[in-house]
Every structure is written in C-alpha cells, then in structure tokens.
C-alpha cells in the first residue's frame, strides 16, 4: 500500500512528535511517501525548495498514493487543500483528529461523504485505530 501522510507544516508544528509516531505506525502498513513531514528539523518555515516545486511534487505523490492519511488536529490550509484534491480524485481519505475543549473539526471535513474521520485522545490508541481504518475505510 502506498500512503500519503499529510500534516500541518506552515500551520504550526506543535504536533510534530505525534506526526512522527503516526508515520512509524503507517510504515507497518506500506510505503509512506511523505516520511520527511514528521522530521523535527522541518519547521513551519517549510522546506528550502521553490513553492511550485513542492506543490507539484506533493501532488504527484498524492496522485500515486492508494490512501491519504491526514492528521487534522492543527488547522492547515495545505492539508485541507490536499483533502479536497484527493476527494475529487476518488482517493481513500482517513483523517485523524484529537478533540480538545473549545475546538471543533471543520464541518467541511466532517460533512464530506468521501472522508473517514477517526478521533483519538492518545497516540497509544493509534495502532489499533489505523489497523481498523486502513482495513475497512
């Protein structure tokens, strides 16, 4: 299975350690094309590459993938954009969301029939959650 993992970069790297753990879990299920998105060295400044080159490379990876797994706790324009493109292409989309008081996941994501949302409160839940979501969604 070829997996595109999406997470916040410019929107904020507060969950970077969580992203890294998710990527490690996803690697048990297939090839993760965006493994560097979990790197601690990747800050909200982004990669030292031209934005068009990043966009076109990432979209090409997304097109090649079997499934988009997105961590959506930190609001991110780029992640939303990738979900929109992936839904349009008929890709499987799984969103992982950690609820917190006073926050709410976008209605455009929750209300999209092409998106599977799985909530978690602790990364310890993720191995079983991903196993189930990747097998059934």
Contacting its own copies (CB under 8 A), which of 35, 39, 42, 105?
105
Beta bridge partners of 25: none
Examine residue 99 and tell whether it contacts its own copies (CB under 8 A): no
Contacting its own copies (CB under 8 A), which of 40, 108, 124, 128?
108
CB of 108 to its own copies, least distance (A): 4
Of 24-32, 33-41, 81-89, 120-128, which part binds its own copies (CB under 8 A)? 81-89
Examine residue 84 and tell whether it contacts its own copies (CB under 8 A): yes
């Amino acid at each position: 299975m070829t997996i595109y993992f999406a997470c916040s970069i410019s929107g904020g790297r507060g969950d970077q350690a969580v992203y890294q753990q998710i990527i490690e879990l996803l690697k048990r299920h297939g090839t993760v094309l965006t493994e560097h998105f979990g790197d601690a060295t990747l800050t909200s400044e982004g990669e030292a590459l031209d934005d068009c080159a990043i966009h076109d490379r990432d979209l090409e990876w997304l097109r090649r993938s079997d499934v988009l797994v997105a961590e959506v706790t930190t609001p991110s324009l780029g992640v939303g954009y990738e979900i929109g493109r992936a839904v349009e292409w008929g890709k499987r989309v799984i969103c992982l969301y950690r609820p917190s008081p006073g926050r709410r996941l976008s209605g455009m994501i929750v209300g999209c029939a092409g998106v599977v949302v799985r909530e978690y409160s602790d990364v310890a839940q993720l191995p079983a959650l991903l196993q189930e979501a990747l097998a059934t969604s």
